[in-house]
Amino acid sequence: MNIFGKSVPFYKMQGCGNDFVVIDNREIGVPESVMDMWAQKICSRAFGVYADGLFFLENSDDPALDYRWHFYNSDGSRAEMCGNASRCAGKLAHAIELAPAEHTFGTDAGPIKAQVLLEGPNRGRVKVQLTPPVGTETNIKIDIDNQPMTIHFADTGVPHVVVFVDDIEALDIMDLGPKIRYHDHFAPAGTNVNFAQVKDENTMLLRTYERGVEAETYACGTGAAAAQLIANKLGLTDDYADLTTTGNEVLTIFLEDGNIFLQGAAELTFKGDLFLEPLDLKADGIPSLTQDCVGCGWCCLTDPCMDSHRKYGYMRRCPDLFWDEDKSRYMCAMMLDPEIGEQVKKSQHAGQGCYAPRNSWREDVRNRDDDK
């Protein structure tokens, strides 16, 4: 019984505590023009799913890519890249047979190579090759609260400041993070801010204030990459390092021949259906959600509506559903009733498209009453 209206399936994933809602957009077809609003609504705490970001997976026209994504932060801002989300994308794409275990997908930062590790001690983890870093600069001098500060910068898909500290636990990240994130030196786009404590040549601790989330997050893959890149450039670490994040997860960063590789966990935590009306999202412009009813009977034969239950009680098959031989489709007698028809049409969203546009019955409309 569907009393909540139209819905779309979704996945909830997390990479080292950085959590994301994922929508397989191949059949649903959410237009890019409304994706930012969907991110704001769906990632909202209490009224949505609550997440750090939302990304859509789609087929790509580029033969060099297995698929492409559209990534949005929880505030609706579009991001060029997200390291932790890229591992989630790679693992889910393989799981839903969108791509093989080793593949390449498109982002606004450029193509990303992903490998789902299927054997050995790192089985289940995902390794991604990030886009080449740009704009790397060390020992930048800025003033914060009229005090000089030395920071470093690298764009590892998105812009990152790196600040090395002696005691990462004592840091007030919600005070210092925004002051660097919005500093004039990085205007107008702003920057992510990472605070790193080097323990030895292969080990760091990391805390990240993320642009777009506007808070500390449990982990940031591209931030970890930037921290390792800068630390290595300053002679503080070797070509690989394990970075322990706020979420107490470990991200491994490899520097190989000028390339950056990020390896870490990516987990599917749950999946379900997003109901559009409670989220104040519209189906307008989404072909898969606005397909006309073809009278296949899927809704009424498998899950009668509340109007049917009120009239007849909880029955497996609604007595008011009938097969119209002339029209070769199922019809609803209640909707045709001159006294209650308009009310039933309104409550069942008649004329607003199919409840289940991806069900197989739509392609095989026939009288199913004699089916065993």
Q: Which residues are catalytic?
A: 82, 220
Residue spans of beta strands (DSSP E) within the chain: 7-15, 18-24, 53-58, 67-73, 102-107, 110-116, 126-129, 134-144, 147-155, 159-164, 192-200, 203-210, 215-217, 240-244, 250-256, 259-264, 267-275, 321-324, 329-332
Residues in contact with 338: Cβ distance below 8 Å, sequence separation at least 6, in sequence order: none
Angle subtended by helix axes 83-95 and 221-233, to nearest 10: 130
Q: Alpha carbon 365 to chain centroid distance?
A: 35
DSSP secondary-structure letter at 34?
G
The token pair at 115 is: 């490998």
Q: How far apart are the first and last CA of the chain?
A: 22
DSSP secondary-structure letter at 52?
S
Query: What is the rounded CA–CA span in Å between residue 200 and residue 226?
Result: 17
What single string gives the DSSP state of each residue in 200-225?
A: ETTEEEEEEEETTTTEEES--HHHHH
Q: Is the dihedral of CA 267, 269, 271, 274 positive or negative?
A: negative
Query: What is the rounded CA–CA span in Å between residue 43 and residue 65?
Result: 28
Q: Is 95 helix (H, G, I), strand (E, B) or coil?
A: helix
The token pair at 323 is: 């097969």
